[in-house]
C-alpha cells in the first residue's frame, strides 16, 4: 500500500512501476469517471500506446467519451468497436463499424494512436494481418504521379461500389479526370482530381451539396470492408474453401455459388466470418500496437466474465453453424479463448482497475490507492418550494470553493449551461463559462464554479487533489444521449424530391397528370436542347423544355391508388382544378372563422415561466431537440396570451411531443388550472397516465384517469374530485366528453391524435376550442409546406428532428431461419427485454404462434391482430406493456402510439412485402431507451425477391440515419397525413391535383381571404436558337442533370447562377460551351421574370419580347428607345416589343438581349 501522496507523485510512481516489460499493478478506489481521468493523464508518460479494455460496448463507449474529455490530445484516442452481429449469423457489420475498426487499425499501424478503447469482445476477435492492410492501403500525395487506371481497379478490390453520385460510405464515382470516394474512415467524402496520372488536387466535399470543402495534401485510402477481394486473394480463397467444404461435407454447387458471388464483388451477408479462409494468419489488436504497449483493464472482474460469456456464445454458435450445414471457418482461427488472452496479458504491462476488490492471497502486484467519491448525493429532490430545491447543492458548492477546491460542472449542450447559469446566478455563486477544453483549465484556480461543455455523464471527487468534476446528469437525473442528426441529412431531405424516376407521375400546371418518361435530347435546325418527356392519356406526348421545369411537380396522392391520366387539350384537368379550388376556399373560410372567433374571445392569460418551471425543464431526461424547444416556446407563449390557444404539435412517435404537452400542463397546474388529456384508445390512456405520473412524481400534482379499465366506483370518485378541484390532471378516452364530466376550473385541453375521434366528438371539441386553451398532438407526419400555406389561420408546430438515440437501431436483412429467430429472441430475453414479431397475415398467424411456442419454449408469447375484439386486443397490448408477456406476435397493427422502452428487438417476417415507410415506422417501435436495439428483416429462405423489394431493404438497412430514400417514403406519408389533418374531403382533392399544386392553391386562398394582393407571376418561354444544355458526356447521370436544371430555373438572382457555375466547375471540371450558354440564358430568365416577359424568341433577324399587360416596364423607357432608333425597335398594341439584331452569332444574340434587358430595368 502506498501512503497518501499528491496526484503528481502518484503518477510518477505509477510510471516508474511500469518500466519493467511485464509489470502488473493495481489502482484501487477509482470511481465515476476517475479511471478515464487518470489514464488520460498517464498517456504522455508511458512507454507505448494504451489499450483500454472494458466489459462491453456501452461501458467502452462511455470510457472513450470520458477519456477524450479529459485528454490533452483527444484526437489521438481511438475506439475499436465489436462487430455487433451474432457469431456465424447471416448478417454483416454496419459499414460505419467496419470503417471505424479499419481506421483504428491504421492509426495503430502508423503510430498515431496514444490510446485505443475496446470492449473485450472486440479484443478477443482476431483481425486482418498487418501486411494485408498495409499492402491494400493506397497513399496519395498531391503533385505526385500514380497509375490512375490501376488505382481505379484497386478501388473495386477494396470493396468500393461504383455509383453515379457519392452519398454513402464505401461508394466511389468516376467522371473524366475526377474521382469521388467516401472512405469509411472520414467524416466527409473526398474528390481527387487527376491530370493524366498526375494527382492535381485532393479535397473533401459535402455529400449533399456535392461542393468541395477543404483541400488535403495527402490521403490514405483504406479498404471499405474488412475483407479484400483482389484477384490473388480470391484465388487463394478458392483452394482453401474447397478444402474446408470437403471437410464439412458441403456439396460443390454451394461452394461454387459462394465463389461466384465473391468473384463478382458481391458480399453475401455474414461473409466476414470466413475471414480466416480469405486472409489466413489473422493477428490480434496487440500485434498492431507498438512495443511498450500498456493494457488497462477497467472493472477487471466484469471484463473477465464478459470474455467468458462472449467466447462461450461464439463457440456454441460455431457448433450450431455445423449442425445447420453452413459454410463457416474454424472458430479458433477467428477468436481467442479467454485463457489465451489471459496468457498474453501476463506477458505485458498491465494496469488493472477493479471496481469490486477481492482479497487475493499472495498477490505480489503493487497496489496504489486513491481516495475518490462519487456524486450520487448531489441529485436534486424536487418540491413545490422552488427556492428549497437548489439550496443543498449551492451550499455544497460554496463549501468546496471555501476549501479552495477546483469545481467543474460539465453539460452536454450550451442551452443546459445557460439554464444552470440562470438557476445558480440567484445565489451569488462565482461562475465562469469555460470555452477551452478541460485539460487547459484543470489547474486554473480562483475561477469559482467552472461550467464547461463535455460529453460525459458522470464525474468524481478526487479528495487528495481538491478536484471536483460534476455532470449535469448527476444533478438533474440521467439523460439519454442524443446523437444529432447530421446537417448532411437535413439537407438531403431537400434534394431527395428531385429523385424522379421514369414512370413516376407528374403534374403539369396547365395540362394535368402525365407520366414522366425521362430526359430527352432533341435537335431542331441543328441546335440541340434537353426536354422532359411527359406521356398523357391516349399516348399523347408533351416535350417540355428544361427551362420550364417549374411548371411540373412530382405527383403524390393517396397510397395504392392509381391516378388516371389527363388528356392533352381536354377540359378534365381544368374541371379538377376548379373543383379543388372551390373546396379549398370553403375550408380556408371555415378555418378563418374559427380563428377570428378566438381572436375576439377573451381567455385566461397564464403567467410567464418561473424558476420552478426551469427546474421542471432541467429534470427532463433527454436533451431537447431544436424543434422540440421551439414547439415548447410556441405553446408557452400562446398560453401567456389572453386569446385562447389552438395549436397543433406534430411529430413522429418518440420525437418528444408528450414532453411539450407536459410543460404546458405543468404551467397550467402551477397557475391553479385543471388539465384534461384526451386520447383515442384505452391503451394510450394507460400509457399517458404512467408517463405523466412518472414525470410529475417529484411535485404535488394529482393525476387520474377515466377509461374502461376503471370500475364505475373509481370513475365516480374521480369525477367528484374533478368537480371539487381536487384533481389537477385528468386523462381519458372520449369518456371525458360525456355530459356527467364537469371541471372546477378547466384551463387546458390536450388532445392526442384528434383525427381518430368521431365526428360528434370533434364537434364537442370545437365548442371548447373557442374558450379554453387547446393543444393537439399528432404522430401523423405533416409536411412543412402545409405549415407555410396555413400561416395565420392555424397554429402548427412541427417536430421533425429525431431523438438521436433512435439512430442506433442495428438493422439486419437475412433469409428466414429458425436458428436466427431463436438466437435473436433469446439474446433479448437474456437482457430482460421484450420482442415484437411481426407476421402480417391473420390467416396463418395461429400456425406461426404454435411454431414459435415450440421453437422458443422459454418465451411467454401473446398474439394480437386487427380482427380481434377491441377489448381483447387492448388487454393483450396492456399485458405486453406491463411485461406479462415478452414475445408479442402481431400483424402490422403495433400502432404508432405504443411506446414500450423495454422492447428492443423487432423481427419482421416477409419484410419484402412491406413498403419502405411501413418498414421504417415498424422499426421505430424499438430503440426507445438507451439499450441497443435490433431489427431483423426476414426474407424467404428460397427463391429471389423483386428488385424493388431488394432496393427497399437495402435503403432501410443503411437507414440507421435518415437518408434520401426514406425521405421520399415519408414525403408520401406526409401527404397522406395532410389528408388526415384537413379531412377526408380534402384528401380527394389532394389526390386529384397532387400535393404541391394543392399547397399553392391553398396558399392563394388564404392570402385572398386575408385581403393580401397576390403578385402576378410568369414562367418565361425562351427560344433564342442557341444550344443551351448540359451535355450527357459532361454529366452522365440524368437525375443530376435534372437537379442542375431545377436549381437554375429556381434561381432568383444572377449570383445564384454563378454559384451553380462554381459547383459545376468543382464537380465536373471545365464548362463545355453549351453549359456556358445555358448559364447566360438562365441569367436572362431572371430579368424576364421580373419584367413579366411571357416569351422571348429570336426569329433570325429580330429579338421578340412578349410582355404581360401588368409589366413594370415604364412606357417612357420604350418610347425613348423607339424615338432614338426607329429603324431598330418596334412596339405593338398587344404588348410585343421587337429589336433588330445585327450580329446573329450565339454570342451576338445573347449580348443584345442582355443589354436591352438592362435598359428596360
pLDDT (tens digit per residue) in 217-228: 999 999 988 988
pLDDT for residue 798? 79
Least confident residue range of 35-39, 159-163, 982-986: 982-986
Q: How confident is the model at residue 151 (pLDDT cuts 50, 70, 90)?
A: very high
Q: Which helix (H) or strand (E) holds 451?
A: strand 449-453
Would you give the end-to-end CA distance of the chain in angstroms? Answer: 89
pLDDT band at 981 (very low <50, low <70, confident <90, very high): low
Half-sphere exposure of 863 (CA within 13 A, CB side): 18
Q: Return phi, psi of residue 54, to 5°.
A: -125, 165
Closest CA to 405 of 441, 446, 368: 446
Q: What is the edge-to-edge ordering of all strands in the sheet holding 24-28? A: 77-79, 115-119, 50-54, 294-298, 349-353, 24-28, 367-369
Closest listed residue to residue 573, CA positions, set 560, 546, 588, 555: 555
Cell of 444: 486554473
Residues 6 or more apart whose CB falls under 8 angstroms from that of 94 comprise 84, 810, 960
Q: Can you read off the three cell numbers belonging to residue 315?
A: 463457440
Query: CA 382: distance to chain centroid?
Result: 34
Q: Which of 323-337, 629-643, 946-960, 1132-1146 has the lowest mean pLDDT?
A: 946-960
- DSSP three-state, residue 847: helix
Ordered structural domains, the chain, with CATH: 7-131+277-369 (3.40.50.11180), 138-221 (3.30.2060.10), 375-476 (3.40.50.11140), 588-779 (3.40.50.300), 804-961 (3.40.50.300), 1054-1160 (3.90.1150.50)
**Rounded CA separation 632/269 (Å):** 44
Measure the CA–CA gap between 160 and 223, rounded to whole angstroms.
8
* Count of beta carbons in the 10 Å neighbourhood of residue 233: 17
pLDDT value for 785: 58
Mean per-residue pLDDT, 131-157: 91
Phi, psi of 1141 (to 5 degrees): -115, 120
Burial 68-100 (b: 16+ CB within 10 A, else e): bbbbeebebbbbbbbbbbbbbbbbbbbbebbbb
Mean pLDDT value across residues 492-505: 58
Of the candidates 1043, 1091, 1107, which has an alpha carbon nearest to the alpha carbon of residue 549? Answer: 1043
pLDDT digits (tens, 9 = 90+) for 368-382: 999 998 888 877 665
CA–CA distance, 973 with 957 (Å, rounded to integer): 20
Asked if residue 784 has pLDDT above 60, the reply is no
Torsion angle in degrees (nearest 10) through CA of 432, 438, 439, 441: 10
Given CA atoms 654, 657, 660, 664 in this order, what sign does their dihedral have? negative
Judge whether 355 and 301 are in contact, CB under 8 Å.
yes
979 confidence band (pLDDT: 50, 70, 90): low
Give the model's pLDDT for residue 791. Answer: 62
Contact 907, 827 (CB under 8 A): no
Cell numbers for 353, please give them: 482497475
- Which carries the bigger pLDDT value, residue 18 or residue 992? 18
Cα–Cα–Cα angle for 831, 833, 839, rounded to 5 degrees? 130
Residues 159 and 225 sit within 8 Å (Cβ to Cβ):
yes
For residue 373, give Cα distances in angstroms to 354, 906, 1063: 15, 40, 56
**Please, which pLDDT band fits residue 811 given cuts at 50, 70 and 90?**
confident
Burial class (CB in 10 A: 0-12, 13-18, 19+), 790: buried
pLDDT at 92: 81
Candidate from 251-260, 420-429, 1016-1025, 1041-1050 with smallest mean pLDDT: 420-429
Q: How many CB atoms lie within 10 A of CB 832?
A: 10
Closest to 65 (Cα-Cα) out of 440, 455, 426? 455
Q: pLDDT confidence of 464, banded at 50, 70, 90?
A: confident
- What is the reported pLDDT for 887? 95
What integer pLDDT is reported at residue 339 of this predicted model? 95
| Sign of torsion over alpha carbons 53, 59, 64, 70 | negative
User: How large is the angle between the packed helices 984-993 and 572-600, nearest 10 degrees?
Assistant: 140
Confidence of residue 586 (pLDDT cuts 50, 70, 90): confident
Contact predicate 889/777, CB 8 Å: no
Reported as a pLDDT band with limits 50, 70 and 90, residue 482 is: very low
The three cell numbers locating residue 512: 394535368
Cα separation, 194 vs 180, whole angstroms = 11
Q: Which tens digit of pLDDT belongs to each residue from 235-250? A: 999 999 999 999 999 9
SS3 of 1140, please? strand
Average pLDDT over residues 546-554: 84
> By C-alpha distance, which of 106, 140, 923, 916 is closest to 496?
916
Largest Cα–Cα distance in the chain?
A: 113
Query: Length of the chain in residues, anyone?
Result: 1161
Q: With CA atoms as reference, report the closest residue to 355 among 28, 790, 798.
A: 28
H or E element in which residue 26 lies: strand 24-28
Average pLDDT for residues 652-673, to the nearest whole number? Answer: 89
Give residue-wise pLDDT tens across range 1001-1038.
877 887 777 777 767 788 899 999 999 999 998 988 88
Amino acid at each position: 500500500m502506498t501512503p497518501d501522496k499528491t496526484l503528481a507523485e502518484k503518477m510518477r510512481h505509477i510510471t516508474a512501476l511500469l518500466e519493467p516489460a511485464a509489470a502488473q499493478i493495481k489502482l484501487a478506489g477509482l470511481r465515476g469517471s476517475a479511471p478515464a481521468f487518470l489514464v488520460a493523464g498517464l498517456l504522455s508518460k508511458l512507454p507505448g500506446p494504451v489499450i483500454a479494455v472494458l466489459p462491453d460496448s456501452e461501458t467502452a463507449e462511455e470510457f472513450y467519451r470520458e477519456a477524450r474529455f479529459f485528454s490533452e490530445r483527444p484526437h489521438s484516442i481511438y475506439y475499436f468497436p465489436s462487430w455487433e452481429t451474432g457469431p456465424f449469423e447471416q448478417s454483416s457489420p454496419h459499414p460505419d463499424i467496419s470503417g471505424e475498426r479499419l481506421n483504428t487499425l491504421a492509426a495503430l499501424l502508423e503510430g498515431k494512436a496514444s490510446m485505443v478503447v475496446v470492449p473485450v469482445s472486440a479484443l478477443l476477435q482476431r483481425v486482418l494481418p498487418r501486411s494485408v492492410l498495409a499492402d491494400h492501403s493506397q497513399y496519395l500525395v498531391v503533385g505526385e504521379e500514380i497509375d490512375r487506371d490501376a488505382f481505379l481497379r484497386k478501388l473495386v478490390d477494396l470493396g468500393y461500389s461504383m455509383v453515379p453520385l457519392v452519398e454513402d460510405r464505401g461508394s466511389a464515382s468516376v467522371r473524366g479526370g475526377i474521382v469521388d470516394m467516401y472512405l469509411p474512415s472520414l467524416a466527409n467524402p473526398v474528390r481527387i482530381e487527376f491530370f493524366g496520372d498526375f494527382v492535381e488536387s485532393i479535397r473533401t466535399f459535402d455529400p449533399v451539396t456535392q461542393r468541395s470543402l477543404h483541400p488535403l495534401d495527402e490521403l490514405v485510402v483504406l479498404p471499405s470492408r474488412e475483407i479484400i477481394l483482389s484477384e490473388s486473394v480470391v484465388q487463394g480463397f478458392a483452394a482453401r474453401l474447397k478444402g474446408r467444404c470437403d471437410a464439412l461435407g458441403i456439396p460443390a454447387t454451394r461452394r461454387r455459388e459462394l465463389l461466384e458471388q465473391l468473384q463478382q464483388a458481391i458480399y453475401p451477408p455474414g461473409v466476414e466470418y470466413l475471414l480466416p479462409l480469405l486472409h489466413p494468419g489473422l493477428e490480434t489488436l496487440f500485434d498492431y500496437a507498438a512495443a511498450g504497449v500498456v493494457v488497462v483493464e477497467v472493472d477487471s472482474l466484469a471484463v473477465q466474465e464478459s470474455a467468458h460469456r462472449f467466447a462461450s456464445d461464439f463457440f456454441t454458435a460455431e457448433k450450431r453453424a455445423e449442425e445447420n450445414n453452413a459454410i463457416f471457418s474454424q472458430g479458433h482461427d477467428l477468436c481467442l479463448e479467454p485463457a489465451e488472452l489471459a496468457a498474453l496479458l501476463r506477458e505485458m504491462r498491465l494496469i488493472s482497475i477493479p471496481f469490486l476488490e477481492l482479497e487475493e492471497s499472495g498477490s505480489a502486484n503493487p497496489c496504489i490507492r486513491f481516495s475518490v467519491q462519487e456524486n450520487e448525493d448531489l441529485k436534486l429532490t424536487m418540491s413545490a418550494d422552488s427556492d428549497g430545491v437548489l439550496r443543498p447543492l449551492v451550499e455544497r458548492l460554496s463549501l468546496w470553493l471555501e476549501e479552495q477546491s477546483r469545481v467543474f460542472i460539465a453539460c452536454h449542450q450550451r442551452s443546459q449551461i445557460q439554464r444552470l447559469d440562470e438557476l445558480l446566478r440567484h445565489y451569488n455563486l462565482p461562475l465562469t463559462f469555460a470555452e477551452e477544453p478541460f485539460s487547459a483549465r484543470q489547474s486554473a484556480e480562483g475561477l469559482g464554479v467552472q461550467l464547461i461543455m463535455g460529453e460525459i455523464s458522470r464525474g468524481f471527487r478526487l479528495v487528495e487533489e481538491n478536484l471536483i468534476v460534476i455532470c449535469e446528469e448527476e444533478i438533474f437525473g440521467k439523460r439519454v444521449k442524443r446523437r444529432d442528426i447530421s446537417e448532411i441529412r437535413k439537407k438531403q431531405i431537400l434534394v431527395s424530391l428531385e429523385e424522379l424516376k421514369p414512370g413516376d407521375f407528374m403534374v403539369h400546371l396547365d395540362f394535368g397528370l402525365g407520366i414522366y418518361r425521362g430526359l430527352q435530347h432533341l435537335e431542331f435546325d441543328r441546335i440541340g436542347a434537353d426536354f422532359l418527356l411527359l406521356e398523357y392519356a391516349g399516348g399523347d406526348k408533351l416535350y417540355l423544355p428544361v427551362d420550364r421545369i417549374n411548371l411540373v411537380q412530382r405527383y403524390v396522392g393517396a397510397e395504392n391508388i392509381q391516378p388516371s391520366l389527363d388528356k392533352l387539350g381536354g377540359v378534365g384537368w381544368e374541371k379538377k382544378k376548379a373543383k379543388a379550388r372551390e373546396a379549398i376556399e370553403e375550408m380556408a373560410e371555415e378555418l378563418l372563422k374559427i380563428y377570428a372567433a378566438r381572436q375576439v374571445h377573451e381567455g385566461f392569460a397564464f403567467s410567464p415561466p418561473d424558476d420552478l418551471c426551469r427546474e421542471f425543464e432541467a429534470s427532463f431526461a433527454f436533451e431537447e431537440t431544436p424543434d422540440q424547444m421551439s414547439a415548447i416556446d410556441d405553446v408557452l407563449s400562446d398560453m401567456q396570451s389572453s386569446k385562447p390557444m389552438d395549436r397543433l404539435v406534430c411529430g413522429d412517435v418518440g420525437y418528444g411531443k408528450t414532453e411539450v404537452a407536459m410543460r404546458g400542463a405543468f404551467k397550467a397546474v402551477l397557475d391553479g388550472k385543471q388539465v384534461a388529456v384526451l386520447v383515442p384508445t384505452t391503451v394510450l390512456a394507460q400509457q399517458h397516465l404512467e408517463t405523466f405520473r412518472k414525470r410529475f412524481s417529484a411535485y404535488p400534482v394529482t393525476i387520474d384517469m377515466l377509461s374502461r379499465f376503471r370500475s364505475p366506483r373509481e370513475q365516480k370518485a374521480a369525477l367528484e374530485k374533478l368537480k371539487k378541484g381536487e384533481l389537477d390532471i385528468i386523462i381519458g378516452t372520449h369518456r371525458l366528453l360525456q355530459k356527467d364530466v364537469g371541471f372546477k376550473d378547466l384551463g387546458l385541453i390536450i388532445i392526442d391524435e384528434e383525427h381518430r375521434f368521431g365526428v360528434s366528438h370533434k364537434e364537442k371539441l370545437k365548442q371548447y376550442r373557442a374558450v379554453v386553451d387547446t393543444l393537439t398532438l399528432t404522430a401523423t407526419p405533416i409536411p412543412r409546406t402545409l405549415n407555410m400555406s396555413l400561416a395565420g389561420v392555424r397554429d402548427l408546430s412541427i417536430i421533425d428532428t429525431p431523438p438521436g438515440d433512435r439512430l442506433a437501431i442495428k438493422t439486419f436483412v437475412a433469409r428466414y431461419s429458425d436458428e436466427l429467430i431463436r438466437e435473436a429472441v433469446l439474446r433479448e430475453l437474456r437482457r430482460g427485454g421484450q420482442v415484437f414479431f411481426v407476421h402480417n397475415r391473420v390467416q396463418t398467424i395461429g400456425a406461426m404462434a404454435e411454431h414459435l411456442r415450440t421453437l422458443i419454449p422459454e418465451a411467454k408469447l401473446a398474439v394480437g391482430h386487427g380482427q380481434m375484439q377491441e377489448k381483447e386486443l387492448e388487454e393483450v397490448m396492456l399485458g405486453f406493456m406491463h411485461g406479462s408477456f415478452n414475445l408479442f406476435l402481431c400483424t402490422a397493427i403495433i400502432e404508432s402510439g405504443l411506446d414500450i422502452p423495454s422492447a428492443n428487438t423487432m423481427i419482421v417476417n416477409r419484410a419484402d412485402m412491406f413498403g419502405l415507410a411501413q418498414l421504417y415506422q415498424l422499426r421505430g417501435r424499438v430503440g426507445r431507451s438507451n439499450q441497443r436495439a435490433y431489427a431483423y428483416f426476414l426474407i424467404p429462405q428460397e427463391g429471389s425477391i423483386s428488385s424493388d423489394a431488394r432496393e427497399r431493404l437495402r435503403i432501410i438497412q443503411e437507414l440507421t440515419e435518415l437518408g434520401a430514400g426514406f425521405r421520399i417514403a415519408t414525403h408520401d406519408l406526409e401527404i397522406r397525413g395532410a389528408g388526415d389533418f384537413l379531412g377526408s374531403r380534402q384528401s380527394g382533392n389532394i389526390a386529384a391535383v397532387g400535393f404541391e399544386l394543392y399547397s399553392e392553391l391553398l396558399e392563394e386562398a388564404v392570402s385572398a381571404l386575408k385581403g393580401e394582393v397576390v403578385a402576378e407571376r410568369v414562367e418565361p418561354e425562351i427560344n433564342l436558337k442557341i444550344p443551351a444544355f448540359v451535355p450527357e458526356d459532361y454529366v452522365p447521370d440524368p437525375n443530376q442533370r435534372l437537379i442542375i436544371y431545377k436549381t437554375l430555373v429556381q434561381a432568383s438572382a444572377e449570383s445564384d447562377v454563378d454559384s451553380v457555375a462554381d459547383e459545376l466547375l468543382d464537380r465536373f471540371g471545365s464548362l463545355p460551351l453549351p453549359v456556358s450558354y445555358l448559364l447566360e440564358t438562365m441569367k436572362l430568365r431572371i430579368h424576364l421574370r421580373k419584367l413579366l416577359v411571357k416569351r422571348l424568341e429570336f426569329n433570325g433577324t429580330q429579338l421578340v419580347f412578349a410582355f404581360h399587360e401588368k409589366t413594370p416596364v415604364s412606357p417612357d423607357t420604350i418610347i425613348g428607345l423607339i424615338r432614338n432608333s426607329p429603324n431598330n425597335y418596334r412596339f405593338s398594341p398587344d404588348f410585343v416589343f421587337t429589336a433588330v439584331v445585327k450580329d446573329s452569332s450565339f454570342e451576338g444574340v445573347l449580348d443584345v438581349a442582355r443589354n436591352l434587358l438592362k435598359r428596360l430595368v
